[in-house]
Structure 1
Amino acid sequence: MRIGIAGTGNMARVLGARWVRAGHDVLVGGRDPGRAGELAGRIGARAGTLREAARHGRDAVLLAVPYAAAVGVVSGLGDAVRGRTLIDCTNPVGPGFVLETAGGPSAAERIAAAAPGAAVVKGFNLCHESVWGLTPPVFGGRALAVPLCGEDEVALEAVRGLVRDLGCVPVNGGGLERAGLLEATAAFLIGLWMGEGVDAQAIAPPLEYAGVDVA
Protein backbone atom coordinates (compact mmCIF):
# COMPACT_ATOMS: atom_id res chain seq x y z
CA MET A 1 0.00 0.00 0.00
CA ARG A 2 1.01 3.62 -0.56
CA ILE A 3 0.67 5.42 2.76
CA GLY A 4 1.17 9.10 3.47
CA ILE A 5 1.76 10.34 6.99
CA ALA A 6 0.96 13.96 7.78
CA GLY A 7 2.98 14.73 10.88
CA THR A 8 6.34 13.95 12.44
CA GLY A 9 5.50 13.16 16.06
CA ASN A 10 5.48 9.95 18.05
CA MET A 11 2.42 8.39 16.40
CA ALA A 12 3.90 9.09 12.97
CA ARG A 13 7.18 7.49 14.06
CA VAL A 14 5.76 4.33 15.62
CA LEU A 15 2.98 3.55 13.17
CA GLY A 16 5.11 4.55 10.20
CA ALA A 17 7.92 2.23 11.30
CA ARG A 18 5.55 -0.69 11.73
CA TRP A 19 3.99 -0.16 8.32
CA VAL A 20 7.38 0.17 6.63
CA ARG A 21 8.37 -3.16 8.19
CA ALA A 22 5.13 -4.65 6.86
CA GLY A 23 6.28 -3.76 3.35
CA HIS A 24 4.26 -0.61 2.66
CA ASP A 25 5.51 2.40 0.70
CA VAL A 26 5.44 5.21 3.28
CA LEU A 27 6.11 8.93 2.83
CA VAL A 28 6.33 11.18 5.89
CA GLY A 29 5.36 14.81 5.41
CA GLY A 30 5.80 17.74 7.76
CA ARG A 31 5.97 21.49 7.95
CA ASP A 32 9.66 21.24 8.85
CA PRO A 33 11.53 19.50 5.99
CA GLY A 34 14.50 18.71 8.23
CA ARG A 35 12.36 17.01 10.84
CA ALA A 36 10.42 15.07 8.19
CA GLY A 37 13.68 13.94 6.61
CA GLU A 38 15.13 12.87 9.94
CA LEU A 39 12.06 10.81 10.84
CA ALA A 40 11.84 9.25 7.39
CA GLY A 41 15.49 8.22 7.61
CA ARG A 42 14.93 6.62 11.01
CA ILE A 43 12.03 4.44 9.88
CA GLY A 44 13.05 3.72 6.29
CA ALA A 45 10.44 5.90 4.63
CA ARG A 46 10.59 8.79 2.20
CA ALA A 47 10.17 12.43 3.19
CA GLY A 48 8.25 15.36 1.78
CA THR A 49 5.81 18.13 2.57
CA LEU A 50 2.37 17.66 4.11
CA ARG A 51 0.80 18.01 0.68
CA GLU A 52 3.22 15.49 -0.83
CA ALA A 53 2.31 13.02 1.92
CA ALA A 54 -1.38 13.43 1.12
CA ARG A 55 -0.80 12.97 -2.60
CA HIS A 56 1.43 9.95 -1.97
CA GLY A 57 -1.16 8.24 0.25
CA ARG A 58 -3.16 6.69 -2.54
CA ASP A 59 -4.34 3.93 -0.18
CA ALA A 60 -4.32 5.79 3.16
CA VAL A 61 -3.20 9.03 4.79
CA LEU A 62 -2.53 9.06 8.53
CA LEU A 63 -3.29 12.40 10.16
CA ALA A 64 -0.74 12.33 12.98
CA VAL A 65 -0.73 15.87 14.33
CA PRO A 66 -2.03 17.27 17.64
CA TYR A 67 -5.78 17.77 17.63
CA ALA A 68 -5.36 21.53 18.02
CA ALA A 69 -3.63 21.64 14.63
CA ALA A 70 -5.64 18.95 12.84
CA VAL A 71 -8.42 20.96 11.22
CA GLY A 72 -6.01 23.64 10.07
CA VAL A 73 -3.64 21.08 8.56
CA VAL A 74 -6.44 19.27 6.73
CA SER A 75 -7.96 22.52 5.46
CA GLY A 76 -4.55 23.52 4.12
CA LEU A 77 -4.25 20.29 2.15
CA GLY A 78 -7.33 21.10 0.10
CA ASP A 79 -7.86 18.83 -2.89
CA ALA A 80 -4.78 16.76 -2.01
CA VAL A 81 -6.92 14.65 0.35
CA ARG A 82 -9.93 14.38 -1.94
CA GLY A 83 -10.65 10.71 -2.62
CA ARG A 84 -8.20 9.62 0.08
CA THR A 85 -8.75 7.40 3.11
CA LEU A 86 -7.91 9.79 5.95
CA ILE A 87 -7.11 8.12 9.28
CA ASP A 88 -7.78 10.34 12.29
CA CYS A 89 -5.85 9.19 15.37
CA THR A 90 -6.17 12.50 17.22
CA ASN A 91 -7.47 12.88 20.77
CA PRO A 92 -9.25 16.13 21.71
CA VAL A 93 -8.31 15.75 25.37
CA GLY A 94 -7.34 18.82 27.37
CA PRO A 95 -5.93 19.46 30.84
CA GLY A 96 -7.81 17.57 33.52
CA PHE A 97 -8.60 14.87 30.96
CA VAL A 98 -11.51 16.94 29.66
CA LEU A 99 -12.97 16.27 26.22
CA GLU A 100 -12.44 19.49 24.28
CA THR A 101 -15.22 18.67 21.81
CA ALA A 102 -17.88 17.96 24.45
CA GLY A 103 -21.27 18.79 22.99
CA GLY A 104 -20.08 17.95 19.49
CA PRO A 105 -19.29 17.71 16.74
CA SER A 106 -16.52 15.19 17.34
CA ALA A 107 -12.92 15.76 16.27
CA ALA A 108 -13.38 13.23 13.48
CA GLU A 109 -16.51 14.97 12.21
CA ARG A 110 -14.74 18.35 12.26
CA ILE A 111 -11.84 16.87 10.32
CA ALA A 112 -14.27 15.32 7.82
CA ALA A 113 -15.97 18.70 7.35
CA ALA A 114 -12.55 20.25 6.63
CA ALA A 115 -11.75 17.51 4.09
CA PRO A 116 -14.73 17.20 1.72
CA GLY A 117 -14.29 14.23 -0.56
CA ALA A 118 -12.07 12.31 1.88
CA ALA A 119 -13.23 9.14 3.65
CA VAL A 120 -12.37 9.72 7.32
CA VAL A 121 -11.81 6.74 9.59
CA LYS A 122 -11.35 7.24 13.34
CA GLY A 123 -8.92 4.81 14.94
CA PHE A 124 -5.62 4.19 16.73
CA ASN A 125 -6.58 6.74 19.42
CA LEU A 126 -7.03 4.59 22.53
CA CYS A 127 -3.40 3.67 23.19
CA HIS A 128 -0.15 5.41 24.01
CA GLU A 129 2.32 5.33 21.12
CA SER A 130 4.52 2.83 22.99
CA VAL A 131 1.77 0.20 22.70
CA TRP A 132 1.77 0.39 18.90
CA GLY A 133 5.50 -0.36 18.94
CA LEU A 134 5.00 -3.76 20.59
CA THR A 135 5.49 -6.67 18.22
CA PRO A 136 2.76 -7.66 18.52
CA PRO A 137 0.51 -5.92 21.07
CA VAL A 138 -0.75 -9.07 22.83
CA PHE A 139 -1.81 -9.02 26.47
CA GLY A 140 -2.62 -12.18 28.42
CA GLY A 141 -2.66 -14.12 25.16
CA ARG A 142 -5.22 -11.78 23.57
CA ALA A 143 -4.34 -9.47 20.68
CA LEU A 144 -5.22 -5.81 21.11
CA ALA A 145 -8.57 -4.88 19.55
CA VAL A 146 -8.72 -1.59 17.63
CA PRO A 147 -12.17 0.00 17.18
CA LEU A 148 -12.71 1.90 13.93
CA CYS A 149 -15.48 4.36 13.08
CA GLY A 150 -16.24 5.34 9.51
CA GLU A 151 -18.76 5.35 6.68
CA ASP A 152 -16.86 4.18 3.60
CA GLU A 153 -16.42 0.42 3.39
CA VAL A 154 -13.44 0.60 1.03
CA ALA A 155 -11.67 2.98 3.41
CA LEU A 156 -12.55 0.84 6.42
CA GLU A 157 -11.20 -2.29 4.74
CA ALA A 158 -7.91 -0.53 3.98
CA VAL A 159 -7.55 0.54 7.61
CA ARG A 160 -8.50 -2.93 8.86
CA GLY A 161 -5.56 -4.25 6.88
CA LEU A 162 -3.24 -1.72 8.52
CA VAL A 163 -4.56 -2.77 11.94
CA ARG A 164 -3.82 -6.41 11.15
CA ASP A 165 -0.31 -5.46 10.03
CA LEU A 166 0.34 -4.44 13.65
CA GLY A 167 -0.81 -7.83 14.94
CA CYS A 168 -4.05 -6.30 16.21
CA VAL A 169 -7.72 -7.10 15.58
CA PRO A 170 -9.96 -4.50 13.90
CA VAL A 171 -13.36 -3.94 15.53
CA ASN A 172 -16.41 -2.32 13.96
CA GLY A 173 -17.17 0.82 15.96
CA GLY A 174 -20.01 2.04 13.74
CA GLY A 175 -20.31 5.10 11.54
CA LEU A 176 -18.46 8.36 11.92
CA GLU A 177 -21.32 9.69 14.07
CA ARG A 178 -20.04 7.32 16.78
CA ALA A 179 -16.48 8.69 16.68
CA GLY A 180 -17.36 11.08 19.50
CA LEU A 181 -18.02 8.08 21.75
CA LEU A 182 -14.60 6.69 20.87
CA GLU A 183 -12.97 10.03 21.65
CA ALA A 184 -14.84 10.29 24.96
CA THR A 185 -13.70 6.77 25.80
CA ALA A 186 -10.10 7.86 25.24
CA ALA A 187 -10.54 10.85 27.56
CA PHE A 188 -12.06 8.66 30.26
CA LEU A 189 -9.42 5.93 29.97
CA ILE A 190 -6.52 8.40 29.96
CA GLY A 191 -7.96 9.92 33.12
CA LEU A 192 -8.07 6.51 34.78
CA TRP A 193 -4.59 5.48 33.65
CA MET A 194 -2.76 8.74 34.25
CA GLY A 195 -4.92 10.46 36.81
CA GLU A 196 -5.85 7.55 39.07
CA GLY A 197 -3.33 4.84 38.22
CA VAL A 198 -6.19 2.41 37.57
CA ASP A 199 -5.97 -0.59 35.24
CA ALA A 200 -8.83 0.37 32.93
CA GLN A 201 -9.31 -3.22 31.78
CA ALA A 202 -10.58 -3.99 35.27
CA ILE A 203 -13.71 -1.85 34.84
CA ALA A 204 -15.37 -4.12 32.24
CA PRO A 205 -16.39 -7.78 32.70
CA PRO A 206 -15.63 -10.44 30.08
CA LEU A 207 -18.18 -10.64 27.28
CA GLU A 208 -19.93 -13.70 28.71
CA TYR A 209 -20.79 -11.66 31.81
CA ALA A 210 -21.70 -8.43 30.05
CA GLY A 211 -25.44 -9.13 29.98
CA VAL A 212 -25.72 -8.91 26.21
CA ASP A 213 -27.08 -11.44 23.76
CA VAL A 214 -24.12 -12.70 21.75
CA ALA A 215 -25.96 -15.53 20.01
Structure 2
Amino acid sequence: MRIGILGSGQMADALGTQWRRAGHEVRTGGRSGGLREAAEFGTDAVLLALPYAAVAEVVGGLGEALRARALIDCTNPVGAGFRLLTAGGPAGAERIAAAAPDAHVVKAFNLCHVDVWRLTPPVFDGRPLAVPLCGDDPAALDVVRQLVRDLGCEPLNAGGLDRAGLVEATAALLIGLWVGEGADAQAIAPPLAHAAGY
Protein backbone atom coordinates (compact mmCIF):
# COMPACT_ATOMS: atom_id res chain seq x y z
CA MET A 1 0.00 0.00 0.00
CA ARG A 2 0.90 3.66 -0.34
CA ILE A 3 0.52 5.39 3.02
CA GLY A 4 0.87 9.09 3.72
CA ILE A 5 1.53 10.25 7.25
CA LEU A 6 0.57 13.73 8.40
CA GLY A 7 2.95 14.47 11.24
CA SER A 8 6.57 13.74 12.01
CA GLY A 9 6.46 12.95 15.72
CA GLN A 10 6.79 9.70 17.61
CA MET A 11 3.49 8.12 16.53
CA ALA A 12 4.28 8.89 12.90
CA ASP A 13 7.71 7.32 13.29
CA ALA A 14 6.55 4.22 15.18
CA LEU A 15 3.65 3.29 12.90
CA GLY A 16 5.45 4.38 9.74
CA THR A 17 8.47 2.23 10.63
CA GLN A 18 6.29 -0.82 11.23
CA TRP A 19 4.39 -0.38 7.98
CA ARG A 20 7.64 0.01 6.04
CA ARG A 21 8.83 -3.26 7.59
CA ALA A 22 5.60 -4.86 6.37
CA GLY A 23 6.47 -3.80 2.81
CA HIS A 24 4.35 -0.69 2.41
CA GLU A 25 5.50 2.56 0.84
CA VAL A 26 5.31 5.40 3.36
CA ARG A 27 5.80 9.16 2.99
CA THR A 28 5.77 11.51 5.98
CA GLY A 29 5.07 15.24 6.06
CA GLY A 30 5.33 17.55 9.04
CA ARG A 31 3.74 20.85 9.92
CA SER A 32 6.86 22.61 8.68
CA GLY A 33 6.31 21.16 5.20
CA GLY A 34 5.30 18.23 3.07
CA LEU A 35 1.78 17.66 4.44
CA ARG A 36 0.07 17.99 1.07
CA GLU A 37 2.67 15.78 -0.60
CA ALA A 38 2.19 13.08 2.05
CA ALA A 39 -1.60 13.24 1.69
CA GLU A 40 -1.41 12.98 -2.08
CA PHE A 41 1.08 10.11 -1.84
CA GLY A 42 -1.20 8.11 0.47
CA THR A 43 -3.53 6.75 -2.18
CA ASP A 44 -4.45 3.82 0.07
CA ALA A 45 -4.39 5.46 3.49
CA VAL A 46 -3.38 8.63 5.30
CA LEU A 47 -2.48 8.56 9.00
CA LEU A 48 -3.33 11.69 10.93
CA ALA A 49 -0.59 11.85 13.58
CA LEU A 50 -0.66 15.49 14.62
CA PRO A 51 -1.64 17.06 17.95
CA TYR A 52 -5.41 17.09 18.24
CA ALA A 53 -5.53 20.89 18.47
CA ALA A 54 -4.09 21.19 14.94
CA VAL A 55 -5.97 18.49 13.07
CA ALA A 56 -9.17 20.23 11.96
CA GLU A 57 -7.27 23.15 10.47
CA VAL A 58 -4.74 20.89 8.75
CA VAL A 59 -7.21 18.48 7.17
CA GLY A 60 -9.53 21.33 6.24
CA GLY A 61 -6.70 22.93 4.31
CA LEU A 62 -5.87 19.76 2.38
CA GLY A 63 -9.24 19.46 0.65
CA GLU A 64 -8.94 17.42 -2.56
CA ALA A 65 -5.70 15.80 -1.42
CA LEU A 66 -7.76 13.68 1.00
CA ARG A 67 -10.58 12.80 -1.38
CA ALA A 68 -11.62 9.13 -1.08
CA ARG A 69 -8.67 8.39 1.24
CA ALA A 70 -8.93 6.20 4.33
CA LEU A 71 -8.00 8.90 6.87
CA ILE A 72 -6.81 7.17 10.03
CA ASP A 73 -7.30 9.26 13.18
CA CYS A 74 -5.01 8.20 16.02
CA THR A 75 -5.37 11.49 17.92
CA ASN A 76 -6.72 11.89 21.42
CA PRO A 77 -8.71 15.00 22.40
CA VAL A 78 -7.43 14.81 25.98
CA GLY A 79 -6.44 17.92 27.92
CA ALA A 80 -5.23 18.92 31.37
CA GLY A 81 -6.30 16.59 34.13
CA PHE A 82 -6.87 13.84 31.56
CA ARG A 83 -10.19 15.46 30.62
CA LEU A 84 -11.93 14.84 27.31
CA LEU A 85 -11.84 18.09 25.34
CA THR A 86 -14.90 17.10 23.30
CA ALA A 87 -17.20 16.21 26.20
CA GLY A 88 -20.79 17.18 25.41
CA GLY A 89 -20.16 17.62 21.70
CA PRO A 90 -19.17 15.68 18.60
CA ALA A 91 -16.23 13.30 18.99
CA GLY A 92 -12.83 14.38 17.77
CA ALA A 93 -13.05 11.92 14.88
CA GLU A 94 -16.44 13.31 13.88
CA ARG A 95 -15.01 16.85 13.87
CA ILE A 96 -12.19 15.64 11.65
CA ALA A 97 -14.74 14.04 9.30
CA ALA A 98 -16.64 17.34 9.15
CA ALA A 99 -13.42 19.20 8.28
CA ALA A 100 -12.52 16.62 5.60
CA PRO A 101 -15.91 15.56 4.19
CA ASP A 102 -14.41 13.83 1.14
CA ALA A 103 -12.21 11.52 3.24
CA HIS A 104 -13.28 8.28 4.96
CA VAL A 105 -12.27 8.72 8.61
CA VAL A 106 -11.43 5.65 10.70
CA LYS A 107 -10.63 5.99 14.39
CA ALA A 108 -7.78 3.64 15.34
CA PHE A 109 -4.43 3.31 17.14
CA ASN A 110 -5.30 5.85 19.86
CA LEU A 111 -5.39 3.66 22.98
CA CYS A 112 -1.70 2.85 23.37
CA HIS A 113 1.50 4.70 24.13
CA VAL A 114 3.90 5.06 21.23
CA ASP A 115 6.27 2.48 22.76
CA VAL A 116 3.64 -0.21 22.27
CA TRP A 117 3.56 0.49 18.53
CA ARG A 118 7.33 -0.02 18.41
CA LEU A 119 7.01 -3.63 19.61
CA THR A 120 7.35 -6.31 16.95
CA PRO A 121 4.71 -7.54 17.45
CA PRO A 122 2.65 -6.11 20.34
CA VAL A 123 1.80 -9.40 22.06
CA PHE A 124 1.15 -9.61 25.79
CA ASP A 125 0.92 -12.91 27.70
CA GLY A 126 0.65 -14.68 24.34
CA ARG A 127 -2.30 -12.54 23.21
CA PRO A 128 -1.96 -10.08 20.31
CA LEU A 129 -3.03 -6.53 21.08
CA ALA A 130 -6.56 -5.74 19.90
CA VAL A 131 -7.18 -2.43 18.11
CA PRO A 132 -10.73 -1.06 18.06
CA LEU A 133 -11.81 0.60 14.81
CA CYS A 134 -14.68 3.03 14.29
CA GLY A 135 -15.70 4.05 10.79
CA ASP A 136 -18.52 4.14 8.28
CA ASP A 137 -16.86 3.25 4.97
CA PRO A 138 -16.43 -0.54 4.45
CA ALA A 139 -13.50 -0.19 2.04
CA ALA A 140 -11.62 2.19 4.36
CA LEU A 141 -12.23 -0.15 7.28
CA ASP A 142 -10.82 -3.06 5.24
CA VAL A 143 -7.66 -1.06 4.55
CA VAL A 144 -7.19 -0.21 8.22
CA ARG A 145 -7.89 -3.80 9.31
CA GLN A 146 -5.03 -4.92 7.08
CA LEU A 147 -2.72 -2.26 8.50
CA VAL A 148 -3.62 -3.42 12.02
CA ARG A 149 -2.82 -7.03 11.10
CA ASP A 150 0.47 -5.91 9.54
CA LEU A 151 1.52 -4.78 13.03
CA GLY A 152 0.74 -8.22 14.43
CA CYS A 153 -2.45 -6.95 16.10
CA GLU A 154 -6.11 -7.94 15.87
CA PRO A 155 -8.68 -5.43 14.56
CA LEU A 156 -11.92 -5.10 16.53
CA ASN A 157 -15.13 -3.69 15.07
CA ALA A 158 -16.13 -0.93 17.50
CA GLY A 159 -18.96 0.41 15.31
CA GLY A 160 -19.53 3.43 13.14
CA LEU A 161 -17.84 6.79 13.45
CA ASP A 162 -20.66 7.85 15.78
CA ARG A 163 -19.06 5.54 18.38
CA ALA A 164 -15.58 7.07 18.09
CA GLY A 165 -16.36 9.26 21.08
CA LEU A 166 -16.54 6.12 23.23
CA VAL A 167 -13.06 5.08 22.11
CA GLU A 168 -11.75 8.60 22.76
CA ALA A 169 -13.34 8.63 26.23
CA THR A 170 -11.77 5.23 26.90
CA ALA A 171 -8.38 6.71 26.01
CA ALA A 172 -8.93 9.60 28.44
CA LEU A 173 -9.88 7.13 31.19
CA LEU A 174 -6.96 4.78 30.53
CA ILE A 175 -4.39 7.56 30.25
CA GLY A 176 -5.61 8.99 33.54
CA LEU A 177 -5.36 5.60 35.25
CA TRP A 178 -1.98 4.69 33.78
CA VAL A 179 -0.26 8.06 34.01
CA GLY A 180 -2.19 9.82 36.75
CA GLU A 181 -2.61 6.90 39.13
CA GLY A 182 0.05 4.44 38.05
CA ALA A 183 -2.70 1.80 37.97
CA ASP A 184 -2.84 -1.44 36.00
CA ALA A 185 -5.80 -0.29 33.91
CA GLN A 186 -5.98 -3.60 32.06
CA ALA A 187 -7.22 -5.15 35.29
CA ILE A 188 -10.57 -3.31 35.03
CA ALA A 189 -11.84 -5.72 32.35
CA PRO A 190 -12.61 -9.33 33.32
CA PRO A 191 -12.16 -12.17 30.83
CA LEU A 192 -14.98 -12.50 28.30
CA ALA A 193 -16.42 -15.59 29.99
CA HIS A 194 -17.16 -13.47 33.06
CA ALA A 195 -17.88 -10.16 31.36
CA ALA A 196 -20.87 -11.50 29.45
CA GLY A 197 -22.23 -13.73 32.23
CA TYR A 198 -21.58 -17.01 30.43
> Structure 1 length as normaliser, TM-score?
0.90
CA shift at 1:182, angstroms?
0.2
Amino acid corresponding to residue 206 of structure 1 in structure 2: P
Amino acid corresponding to residue 189 of structure 2 in structure 1: A
CA shift at 1:212, angstroms?
4.9
Amino acid corresponding to residue 157 of structure 1 in structure 2: D
Runs of 4+ in 1 over 3 A off after TM superposition: none
In structure 2, the residue corresponding to 1:77 is in which secondary structure?
helix
Distance in 2 separating the partners of 1:212 and 1:153: 31
Aligned twin of 2:163: 178
Distance in 2 separating the partners of 1:149 and 1:80: 22
Distance in 2 separating the partners of 1:54 and 1:201: 35
Aligned twin of 2:174: 189
1:23-34 equivalences under 5 Å are 23-33=23-33
In structure 2, the residue corresponding to 1:61 is in which secondary structure?
strand
Amino acid corresponding to residue 53 of structure 2 in structure 1: A
Distance in 2 separating the partners of 1:129 and 1:67: 16
Aligned twin of 2:47: 62
Amino acid corresponding to residue 161 of structure 1 in structure 2: Q
- What is the number of equivalent residue pairs in this alignment? 198
Structure 2 unpaired stretches of 5+: none
In structure 1, the residue corresponding to 2:54 is in which secondary structure?
helix
In structure 2, the residue corresponding to 1:102 is in which secondary structure?
coil
Distance in 2 separating the partners of 1:84 and 1:167: 23
Aligned twin of 2:5: 5
In structure 2, the residue corresponding to 1:191 is in which secondary structure?
helix
Aligned twin of 2:145: 160
Q: Deviations over 1:112-133 (max 9, x none)?
A: 0000111000000000000000
Aligned twin of 1:146: 131
Q: Deviations over 1:11-53 (max 9, x none)?
A: 00000000011110101112324xxxxxxxxxxxxxxx10111
Q: Deviations over 1:145-166 (max 9, x none)?
A: 0000000010000000000010
Aligned twin of 1:135: 120
> Contact between 1:5 and 1:53, CA under 8 Å: does it hold in 2?
yes
Percent identity between the two aligned chains? 71
Distance in 2 separating the partners of 1:30 and 1:212: 48
Which deviates the most, 169-178 or 72-81?
72-81
> Structure 2 length as normaliser, TM-score?
0.98
In structure 2, the residue corresponding to 1:28 is in which secondary structure?
strand
> Contact between 1:104 and 1:180, CA under 8 Å: does it hold in 2?
no
| Candidates 200, 204, 207, aligned match of 2:185 | 200
Distance in 2 separating the partners of 1:84 and 1:211: 37
Amino acid corresponding to residue 171 of structure 1 in structure 2: L
Amino acid corresponding to residue 17 of structure 1 in structure 2: T
